Amino acid sequence: MRRLKTIFIFVLLALAANLTAVQPLQLPSWTEPQGIEVLVERLPIKESEQWNLSKSTIQSKVEQTLMRFSLEPSNDEPFDKGYLYVNVSLAGPSYFVSLEYVRRLRLHEQQDNVPATVWDKGVIGINTDYDKNRILNALVELVEQFSTEYIKQNRRKQ
């Protein structure tokens, strides 16, 4: 009987230990990728051919850079959440690259939410060699600046 009691107590302790066991480490929720919609403005045909640059190349470069920061490019994000607007303007050997983050905000005077640019930066330059890498490097730098600021502002509390 004493042996049966000892086995019973052992089983109860084993069950209790199993129930209170420490769960394996999991990544905190703030490290999960966050979705951001990316909208790239259309390029002028003549100038884009001169620079050998396409909308898809720009889209791809922006998305690759966002993913390095665990920001997922996503077309199915709610539009109210915000979107990253990319515009590359070309005029001969001159270029202007701008990046804007647009969100919908509620203003007291308005019934509906209104779109507002909450972050924007731009780079202007001239390249007589029409080297598209200058534009793509400027774009990467802007996306890196945006991503850093976005993560700082949207970090989830633990």
Strand order in the sheet with 83-91: 71-73, 34-40, 83-91, 94-106, 113-126
Residue 105 C-beta-side C-alpha neighbours within 13 Å = 10
Phi and psi angles of residue 36, each rounded to the nearest 5 degrees, phi first? -135, 130
| Domains identified in the chain, total number | 1
Query: pLDDT digit string (tens) for 85-94?
Result: 999 999 999 9
Positive or negative, the CA dihedral 55, 57, 60, 66 is negative
17 part of a folded domain: no
pLDDT of residue 108: 72
11 part of a folded domain: no
109 part of a folded domain: yes
Beta bridge partners of 100: 85, 120
24 part of a folded domain: no
pLDDT of residue 113: 75
pLDDT of residue 119: 93
Mean of the per-residue pLDDT values of the chain: 79
Evaluate if pTM is beyond 0.75: no
pLDDT of residue 115: 82
65 part of a folded domain: yes
4 part of a folded domain: no
pLDDT of residue 60: 95
pLDDT of residue 84: 93
pLDDT of residue 27: 34
116 part of a folded domain: yes
Domain that holds residue 95: 34-154
Low-confidence ranges of the chain (pLDDT < 50): 8, 10-32
| Token pair recorded at residue 33 | 């990728």
63 part of a folded domain: yes
